[in-house]
Amino acid sequence: MKNRDVSALFHKVADMLAIRGDKFHRILAYRKAGESVDALGRDINQIYEEGGLTDIPGIGKTLAEKIEEMLTTGELDFYNRLSEDVPPSLVDMLKIEGVGPKRVKQIYDSLGITTVDELTEAAKEGKLKGLPGLGAKSEAKLLAAIDALARHGDDRVSIGVAWPIAQDILQQLEKVPGVTKTAVAGSLRRMRETIGDIDLMVAADEADPVMDLFCGLPNVESVVGRGPTKARVVLLNGIGVDLRVLPAERWGTLLSYFTGSKDHNVRLRELALKQGLSLNEHSFTPVDGGDEILCDTETAVYETLGLPYIPPVMRENRGEIEQAQAGNLANLIQESDIVSDLHMHSTWSDGKNSILEMAQAAQAQGMKYIVITDHSMSLGIANGLNPERLEAQAEEVKEANAAMGDDFHILHGTEMEIKADGSLDFTDEVLAKLDFVIASLHVSLKQPREQVTQRMLNAINNPHVDMIAHPTGRLLPGRVGADLDMDAILQAAAETQTIMEINANPSRLDLRDSHVRRALELGVKISINTDAHNKSHFDLRHYGVATAQRGWATAEEVVNCWPLEKLLAFIKSKEVVD
């Protein structure tokens, strides 16, 4: 079994326990274990062999034994026994909008229905409407939801899809009279790479006008539910959107609650209880009676708990509360710290703009220097450059540099293919003439782990290679990318002073947040680049910055925040070390 199989089984067990009505903390433990395994930067089999399973966050002795069982036998006895009680196919019903574990249990217990297909049949034949809490209307709703699931799937969407949609809706909500504040919340505010649904918050004294506009938006497919202060719709593209409206004096608790993560909130509530306060989206309430405490800002919420403000990107219960308590919360990199972009394409390969146009657009965004890194020759479909064209390109870089004046610098680089056999596309002699060398994998990503890892290590060990771009080659949300031994790669990068990229394109975000955190632990320097193929792509930078922040990166650790001289000295020292 691999990481993915282990985490999928944990998630499935959690769902089955939820359907059975098991204890909440037991369900949470399995879910958390699944998430921890998902976030690992390395092969779990290797961690097991080193005896390190219990070092994984959320994995204690019992869960470690279960992982060991899965890895050595390919099975989990507990799951098999649970399956006799709760048919595993019931889990699929949870993907239907509006169907929770209690409902699944009720339907299974009373009608013996175990699959979504059987459920569809039963709803069509009107067999559900006799059950407590289910009427003819619910049957129709259920059928519509099953239909929607079949059309849209249950997949999470990339943040790059969800973000602009959320901003667009917010802009419309802002215009409703009486609205004083609007914000995104949930995973989108925490800038997770994929989004389950969009959560939007509005401060207004009167909710109805906001609800009316929201439920009537042209891209709304259906209104799933509407109450006095909340509504949920499904958009035409299948994305669900939750809206909450509360008065501005409750804004702090509202935003904090619905920003999550759930695990972070659980910790906040525990801290509140220690002070004799119960915390929810409306306010703090003294447990033994008394007036509620309202918070109009999140800062006030954290202050009440004796904590400094914790940025949303950190709210995952991955140690941020302990850091905040100790008073040494990481000083996260900000977008405004960035002065360069080290990875972009021009019309020389598969880009849409000239070198000069790219430079001007970068300068307009506040950049001080860029590197032009067109593809190399073996990537024929992207019109990759051979050494002769590379030399000709050097001339154009020089001219563009002169045209830009002294306040801006254009470096000449390449995005060089690491070929399927592990060799590099250019000789050392060609590479030595370039200011900056990126190596990346675009082909044969499906090679076995050892082989594809070795290809990457070859590139890292070349003294001319300054940076590895989008290491795994994954494409969100579908293509998983190369099965790299990330820990070995990050260690080699640390030893050789090779920079590792966070590709800011929201369909890549590669390195991902957990890899960034591991890289920084090992002392690897990070770079955030847009890989722009036209001048409007520079706007994607904020997704990369968010990923860096989710890995707790500071400006000192991200080379794009350095002055040019410092970067040049750093990459030069790699050649000397070797």
261 counts as binding ligand DGT under rule CB under 6 A = yes
| DSSP annotation string for 156-217 | -EEHHHHHHHHHHHHHHHHTSTTEEEEEEEHHHHTT-SEESSEEEEEEES--HHHHHHHHT-
506 counts as binding ligand DGT under rule CB under 6 A = no
Q: Which of 63, 195, 203, 362 binds ligand DGT (CB under 6 A)?
A: 195
Stretch that binds ligand DGT, among 21-29, 52-60, 260-268, 549-557 (CB under 6 A): 260-268
Instruction: Determine the residue with CB nearest ligand DGT.
Output: 260
Question: Closest CB to ligand DGT among 184 and 489?
Answer: 184
Per CB under 5 A, which of residues 391..420 are in contact with Zn ion? 415
Q: Are 348 and 386 in contact (CB under 8 A)?
A: no
Distance CA 422, CA 443 (A): 11
Q: Which of 11, 531, 535, 548 binds Zn ion (CB under 5 A)?
A: 531
CB of 439 to Ca ion, least distance (A): 37
CB of 209 to Ca ion, least distance (A): 22
Distant-in-sequence, close-in-space partners of 37: CB < 8 Å, separation ≥ 6? 3, 6, 7, 10, 44, 56, 67
**Binding residues for ligand DGT, total number by CB under 6 A:** 14
CB of 345 to Zn ion, least distance (A): 6
Per CB under 5 A, which of residues 168..227 are in contact with Ca ion? 186-187, 197, 199
Question: Closest CB to Ca ion among 195 and 502?
Answer: 195
374 counts as binding Zn ion under rule CB under 5 A = no
When CB distances are held under 5 to 8 angstroms depending on the partner's kind, the choice from Ca ion, Zn ion, ligand DGT, none that residue 260 binds is ligand DGT
When CB distances are held under 5 to 8 angstroms depending on the partner's kind, the choice from Zn ion, Ca ion, ligand DGT, none that residue 262 binds is ligand DGT
Question: Closest CB to ligand DGT among 346 and 549?
Answer: 549
122: enclosing H helix or E strand: helix 116-124
Q: Which of 87, 88, 196, 387 binds ligand DGT (CB under 6 A)?
A: 196
362: enclosing H helix or E strand: helix 355-364
Distant-in-sequence, close-in-space partners of 476: CB < 8 Å, separation ≥ 6? 158, 160, 193, 194, 506, 507, 508, 509
Please give, one letter per residue, the 3-state secondary structure of 484-495. Answer: CCHHHHHHHHHH
Q: Which of 441, 467, 435 is nearest to 454 (CA)?
A: 441
Distance CA 168, CA 173 (A): 9
Question: Closest CB to ligand DGT among 195 and 540?
Answer: 195
Q: Which of 265, 317, 498, 529 binds ligand DGT (CB under 6 A)?
A: 265
262 counts as binding ligand DGT under rule CB under 6 A = yes
The encoded tokens of residue 265 equal 């909130």
Pair type for strands 198-204 and 220-226: unpaired
Per CB under 6 A, which of residues 353..392 are in contact with ligand DGT? none
Stretch that binds ligand DGT, among 27-35, 81-89, 257-265, 378-386 (CB under 6 A): 257-265
CB of 63 to Ca ion, least distance (A): 26
3-state secondary structure of 381: helix
> Distance of CA 257 to CAs 25, 68, 251, 438, Å?
19, 36, 10, 42
Distance CA 277, CA 280 (A): 10
* Exposure class string for 476-496: b at 16+ Cβ within 10 A, else e: bbeeebbbbbbbbbbbbbbeb
Q: By the criterion CB under 5 A, which residues form the site for Ca ion?
A: 186-187, 197, 199, 242
Q: By the criterion CB under 6 A, which residues form the site for ligand DGT?
A: 186-187, 192, 195-197, 199, 257-258, 260-262, 265-266
Q: By the criterion CB under 5 A, which residues form the site for Zn ion?
A: 415, 531
